[in-house]
Structure 1
Amino acid sequence: MTPEEEDINRQPVVEMEISSLQLTGSPRLAGADMVHVEAMAAVQQELPPILVHRATMRVIDGAHRVRAALRRGETTIAGRFFEGPEDEAFVLSVWLNVAHGLPLALADRKHAAERIAVTHPQWSDRRVAAVTGISPGTVADIRRRVAGASAPESSRIGQDGRVRPLDCSAGRLLAGQLMTENPHLSLRQVAKAASISPETARDVRNRLLSGAELVPSRRGRDAGQRTAEGAGPDRQPLNLVRSIGRQEPVIDRAVVIKRLMSDPALRYTDTGRNLLRLLSLHSHWANEWETIVDNVPAHCTGVVADLARQFAELWADFATRVPEHRLAS
């Protein structure tokens, strides 16, 4: 469970009159999926609480649940209130509908990214991408296309909440100087001293080793950024997409997990929700493994590696026992 979900779940659950709720303003351009509504209406268990923006009474998360409750003939529904501004309520609505539940269509996510790029111009492409479930490159294209979505010239706020400069030229040059003068400095030490990210520091190191310019040209800026994210010439990122047998590709995990999240048999049971949280956690952070690996404190590496191995063994045992349990039942 993410910190945002924990904050939401700490809010008290109250009974709300369905007639007082607003179902407008949803990030779903095509409106409700009535097949999904019927599936939820048929579920015997009580549906999870919805989330409502108190100031406008607009449903942030749970519009399908509201329609399912109406289909059952109910007049009230359990829910929690969100107290923030409308722009934040929309961001939360998009993020929750991307993270779980019936997945938003690609057109919905792109349209949401356009709105967020305008209302949150200080956010980095990665941060908008994390909320909307599209790639940072697509967000960058949207930002360039949408009028009025230009960000502050000097810096943006990243996914981790840190403020980083848009132009890292000076930081790159300083990092190159530090690495040349003291090659034993770690990437984290160089990044901190030069006020750049560890990924950018890694790119500077790769460029030093290859003899390339420390500051990528404008034409090669996109390729340089991809290198800075962990795909440098002397190091390949962790391979999280593997093949089975004769180069048969594995189905996109994110797509599979989103489909599972729309399954009422999983979403509306405690054990099902716990399983979905575990699966979505891995999917959500799949693109961040390189950064996580490089930022494990040296004094914790042994313990973290041991825990990772233990959890890997648990998942392997789980993968073995699930088919056995299905056959036995």
Structure 2
Amino acid sequence: MPQVHRVSVTRLRPADSPRLAGIDAEHVRRLTETSDALPPILVHRATMRVIDGMHRLHAAVLRGRHDIEALYFDGSPDEAFRRAVQENIAHGLPLSLSDRKAAARRILTADPQISDRAVAACVGLSGKTVAALRRLSGAESAHLNTRIGADGRSYPLDGTRGRLLAVQLIAERPDAPLREIARDAGVSVGTAHTIRGRIRRGETPVPAGSPAAQELRASLTPSAPESAPALSCRAFPEVLRSLSRDPSLRSTEAGRQLLRWLHTQPVLTDDWHHRLDALPAHCTDSVAALARKCAEVWQQIAREVERPKGR
């Protein structure tokens, strides 16, 4: 429980306030007239600046008080400003949209490495709004490779490697907690949750067209020719191994069933001749009919999977 101190009003300095319009006289009057006990103000110990509670301080002075209850905050001036924004959003007289945007710009200028989400959570704006303010304010810096998230951890601006690692970890540990996956992959819990959700829905683990998707495809593409008709017998096992490494298949029951089906008995051109030597004459017609039917079905499957989506 934070310790409450009684502080002389003469020791306190004006707030480094996120309110562009300053003190609201009408709000001070309402506080002066209330009979309810007001909560302690928040003071930056190092500078004795009021972080939160300037309206309460003015009301106390108008009431003739010589001291006021206060809590101390220990941190840098920039941290004190962010705390002031958070406190003013959480209670009391709300900050205007202009106040919150100005606060976001100031935070981005002071700490360009902080993430859009972290700023958004602090000032009560959307991440997209903060990103736009960052571009307009020039707070984007080309030499910065990481951002500091709302959890205080450092995340790379290009999250390709982390996302790919998360895909791999989810495939290897499908039942692992998301926080564990996020920690080991160096991504946010939200990113890990999104990747797992996409895999479970049978979608690509990362959005198509993203750098992570391109690198994922490259890592899973075998050296064999891409088109099915040109697939050589030697490349066949590598194609199966490549499919078996694909987390989109490994992480769903339907995908695992498909892999088991594909592995059941692949027939290659160089291993079936000796098996036919043991085929009795009276069975040839039946085996030939089965082979033709299987070939027909596999041709249908090939045409279906090669058909462009949405047609």
- Name the CA shift for 1:201/1:38 in 2 (closer, same or farther; >3 Å): same
**2:187 alignment counterpart:** 196
| SS of equivalent to 1:116 | helix
| SS of equivalent to 1:109 | helix
Q: Does 1:72 find its partner at 2:63?
A: yes
| SS of equivalent to 1:97 | helix
**Aligned match of 2:106 in 115, 118, 124?**
115
**1:231 alignment counterpart:** none
- Name the CA shift for 1:204/1:20 in 2 (closer, same or farther; >3 Å): closer
Over the residues paired in the alignment, what is the CA RMSD in angstroms? 2.9
**2:151 alignment counterpart:** 160
The code of the aligned residue for 2:5 comes to V
Q: Distance in 2 between the 1:46 and 1:32 partners?
A: 20
After TM superposition, give the deviation of residue 137 of structure 1 in Å. 1.4
After TM superposition, give the deviation of residue 187 of structure 1 in Å. 6.1
| SS of equivalent to 2:83 | helix
**2:137 alignment counterpart:** 146
After TM superposition, give the deviation of residue 179 of structure 1 in Å. 4.8
- Name the CA shift for 1:210/1:153 in 2 (closer, same or farther; >3 Å): farther
- Name the CA shift for 1:184/1:147 in 2 (closer, same or farther; >3 Å): closer
8 Å contact kept, 1:24–1:58: yes
- Name the CA shift for 1:11/1:119 in 2 (closer, same or farther; >3 Å): farther
RCO comparison, higher one (Cα < 8 Å, 6+)? 1
After TM superposition, give the deviation of residue 177 of structure 1 in Å. 4.2
- Name the CA shift for 1:31/1:172 in 2 (closer, same or farther; >3 Å): same
**2:6 alignment counterpart:** 14
| SS of equivalent to 1:19 | helix
**Aligned match of 2:20 in 26, 29, 37?**
29
| SS of equivalent to 1:108 | helix
After TM superposition, give the deviation of residue 47 of structure 1 in Å. 2.5
Residue by residue over 1:213-253, the C-alpha shift from the partner in whole angstroms, topping out at 9 and shown as x without a partner, is 7355469x9xxxxxxxxxxxxxxxxxxxxxxxxxxxxxxxx
8 Å contact kept, 1:121–1:151: no
Q: Distance in 2 between the 1:38 and 1:176 partners?
A: 58
**1:327 alignment counterpart:** none
After TM superposition, give the deviation of residue 108 of structure 1 in Å. 0.5
Q: Distance in 1 between the 2:183 and 2:80 partners?
A: 34
After TM superposition, give the deviation of residue 147 of structure 1 in Å. 2.5
Residue by residue over 1:120-148, the C-alpha shift from the partner in whole angstroms, topping out at 9 and shown as x without a partner, is 22222111111111111111111122124
**1:104 alignment counterpart:** 95
The code of the aligned residue for 1:25 comes to D
Residue by residue over 1:45-76, the C-alpha shift from the partner in whole angstroms, topping out at 9 and shown as x without a partner, is 44322122233332111100111112223333
**1:125 alignment counterpart:** 116
- Name the CA shift for 1:114/1:216 in 2 (closer, same or farther; >3 Å): farther
May I ask how many residue pairs the two structures share in their alignment?
A: 210
Residue by residue over 1:9-52, the C-alpha shift from the partner in whole angstroms, topping out at 9 and shown as x without a partner, is x2341231x23332253111011222211111012244322122
Q: Distance in 1 between the 2:73 and 2:184 partners?
A: 40
Q: Distance in 2 between the 1:24 and 1:159 partners?
A: 25
- 5+ residue gaps, structure 1: 1-5, 222-329
| SS of equivalent to 1:161 | coil
8 Å contact kept, 1:155–1:163: yes
The code of the aligned residue for 1:37 comes to V
TM-score, length basis structure 2: 0.59
**Aligned match of 2:206 in 185, 210, 214?**
214
8 Å contact kept, 2:51–2:81: yes
**1:323 alignment counterpart:** none
- Name the CA shift for 1:166/1:72 in 2 (closer, same or farther; >3 Å): same
| SS of equivalent to 1:77 | strand
Q: Distance in 2 between the 1:119 and 1:12 partners?
A: 30
8 Å contact kept, 1:127–1:159: yes
Q: Distance in 1 between the 2:137 and 2:40 partners?
A: 35
**1:314 alignment counterpart:** none
The code of the aligned residue for 1:61 comes to D
- Name the CA shift for 1:43/1:195 in 2 (closer, same or farther; >3 Å): same
8 Å contact kept, 2:15–2:51: no
Calculate percent identity across the aligned residue pairs: 46
